[in-house]
């Protein structure tokens, strides 16, 4: 029966779509979070969020690096440094440009925070002014401190984030135990 005007409600419920033989249903790409051991290989990605290799090397060896992967492709990567028995710091997070604004950084952070909350109770992040709204959205909603002139004192070159010249760094934190984000 093809003419819907002549279908009863029962007919409609029983109607199943017919697919040609051999039709393959598109599969949902599978996302997984994986720990990365060969951290140095991702320096180019880290440099997109933190433009000094020297600064990255200060934290990279003591940090854990995790990637959100779709099949074999890396989509987003995050660097997390334990700074005390109960506190971690998110040092770097980057989504590859073509995958931005699709919710991938949010997925990676949510997964990492969910795991780290077994052992840690707070995650800090230091950020430029432009990125504060992004972190607040991810639950880093407690203002901790500002370090004045951080980018001037620690980097050889001037750092620009879009049209904003970076001078101070702003620290925010996320309560891993209570946050639902």
Ligand X SMILES: CC(C)(COP(=O)(O)OP(=O)(O)OC[C@H]1O[C@@H](n2cnc3c(N)ncnc32)[C@H](O)[C@@H]1OP(=O)(O)O)[C@@H](O)C(=O)NCCC(=O)NCCS
Residue 41's alpha-carbon distances to 78, 114, 168, in angstroms, are: 14, 26, 29
Q: What is the dihedral of CA 131, 135, 138, 144, to 10 degrees?
A: -170
Give the nearer residue to ligand X in terms of CB position, either 111 or 121.
111
155 binds ligand X (CB under 6 A): no
104 binds ligand X (CB under 6 A): yes
Q: How many residues bind ligand X (CB under 6 A)?
A: 18
Q: How far is the CB of 138 from ligand X (least distance, A)?
A: 7
The site string for ligand X over 26-65 (x = CB under 6 A, - otherwise) reads ----------------------xx----------------
Q: How far is the CB of 40 from ligand X (least distance, A)?
A: 19
Q: How far apart are CA 167 and CA 181, in angstroms?
A: 29
Residue 153's alpha-carbon distances to 25, 81, 83, 114, in angstroms, are: 55, 22, 21, 35
| Helix or strand holding residue 150 (H, E) | helix 150-154
Q: How far apart are CA 95 and CA 71, in angstroms?
A: 16
Give the nearer residue to ligand X in terms of CB position, either 7 or 31.
31
Binds ligand X (CB under 6 A): choice among 105, 113, 124, 176: 105
137 binds ligand X (CB under 6 A): yes
Burial class (CB in 10 A: 0-12, 13-18, 19+), 175: middle
Give the nearer residue to ligand X in terms of CB position, either 99 or 116.
99
93 binds ligand X (CB under 6 A): yes
Name the nearest CA neighbour of 103 among 36, 181, 46.
181
Q: How far is the CB of 76 from ligand X (least distance, A)?
A: 6
* Contact residues: ligand X, CB under 6 A: 48-49, 76, 93-95, 100-106, 127, 131, 133-134, 137
């Amino acid at each position: 029966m093809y003419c819907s005007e002549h279908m009863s409600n029962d007919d409609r419920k029983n109607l199943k779509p017919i697919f040609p033989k051999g039709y393959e249903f598109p599969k949902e790409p599978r996302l997984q979070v994986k720990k990365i051991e060969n951290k140095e290989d991702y320096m180019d990605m880290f440099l997109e969020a933190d433009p000094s290799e020297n600064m990255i090397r200060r934290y990279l060896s003591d940090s854990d690096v995790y990637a959100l992967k779709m099949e074999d492709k890396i989509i987003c990567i995050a660097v997390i440094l334990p700074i005390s028995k109960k506190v971690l710091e998110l040092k770097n997070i980057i989504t590859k440009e073509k995958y931005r604004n699709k919710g991938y950084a949010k997925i990676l952070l949510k997964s990492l925070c969910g795991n780290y909350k077994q052992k840690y109770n707070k995650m800090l992040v230091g950020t430029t002014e432009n990125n504060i709204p992004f972190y607040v959205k991810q639950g880093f909603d407690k203002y901790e401190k500002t370090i004045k002139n951080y980018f001037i004192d620690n980097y050889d070159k001037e750092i620009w984030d879009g049209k904003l010249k970076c001078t101070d760094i702003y620290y925010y934190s996320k309560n891993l135990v209570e946050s639902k984000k």
